[in-house]
């Protein structure tokens, strides 16, 4: 029965409202796994000579053979763990099939944040931590603790330029407060040098003071002799 005007809402309306509130309060599952994509390790990487900006990779997904992949993502590095969509998976609404890409065989897609449905830079790949198990389903949540770069946590990570600058700064500074010690020694040397100059100046003044009476006595002697 419909609730009368100005009366309390019906039981169905209250229940529907409660369900909506519960859905909003449900936190995102950080440990959620993707239905298709796998954790893969980049075994080898080489730049393509015939196509600038593209790379040929071999990836380990725990199978007998490595998966060859041609990618244009600039952040892929050998030894890293990434998210891989193998043949049969769907990426950006299209099925992944093995095919020649710029004369190189490719049987998968290394996924970036956009491929995962996450916000982020479409030119970089999602990098996973060493804790990610090769061949297991990849994390589906951008805030997963397994996601190092390309997810929500990557927004706070330093860029390559910042890391390089920090490394240069560290390289210039000496460990163990040696810079401060060297500076203190420099000040101490300057202080000693100034003290030495003052001593020399005092010695010169004393020598002049001694020489003056003798000179005056000599002049007097000459006058008497004349």
Which residue, among 140, 142, 138, 145, has the nearest Cα to 61 in the 3D structure? 138
pLDDT digits (tens, 9 = 90+) for 146-170: 999 876 644 434 444 444 444 444 4
Provide the CA 153 distance to its chain's centre, in angstroms. Answer: 11
Summarised one tens digit per residue, pLDDT across range 17-29 is 666 555 555 567 8
Q: What is the pLDDT of residues 128-151, one digit of tens each?
A: 999 999 999 999 999 999 999 876
Distance CA 148, CA 82 (A): 10
Looking at the whole model, is its pTM more than 0.75? no
Calpha distance 120→140 (Å, rounded):
15
């Amino acid at each position: 029965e419909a609730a009368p005007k100005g009366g309390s809402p019906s039981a169905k309306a209250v229940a529907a409202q409660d369900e909506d509130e519960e859905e909003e309060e449900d936190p995102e599952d950080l440990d959620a796994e993707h239905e298709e994509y796998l954790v893969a390790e980049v075994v080898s990487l080489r730049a393509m000579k015939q196509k600038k900006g593209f790379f040929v990779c071999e990836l380990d997904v725990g199978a007998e053979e490595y998966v060859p992949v041609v990618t244009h993502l600039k952040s892929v590095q050998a030894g890293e763990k990434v998210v891989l969509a193998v043949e049969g998976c769907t990426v950006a609404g299209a099925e992944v099939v093995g095919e020649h890409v710029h004369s190189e065989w490719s049987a998968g897609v290394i996924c970036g944040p956009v491929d995962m449905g996450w916000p982020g830079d479409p030119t970089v790949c999602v990098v996973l931590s060493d804790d990610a198990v090769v061949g297991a389903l990849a994390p589906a949540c951008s805030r997963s603790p397994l996601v190092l770069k390309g997810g929500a946590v990557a927004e706070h990570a330093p860029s390559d330029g910042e890391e390089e600058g920090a490394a240069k700064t560290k390289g210039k500074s000496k460990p163990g407060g040696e810079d401060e010690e060297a500076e203190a020694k420099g000040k101490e040397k300057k202080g000693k040098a100034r003290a030495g100059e003052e001593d020399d100046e005092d010695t010169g003044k004393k020598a002049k003071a001694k020489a003056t009476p003798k000179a005056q006595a000599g002049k007097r002697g000459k006058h008497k002799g004349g």
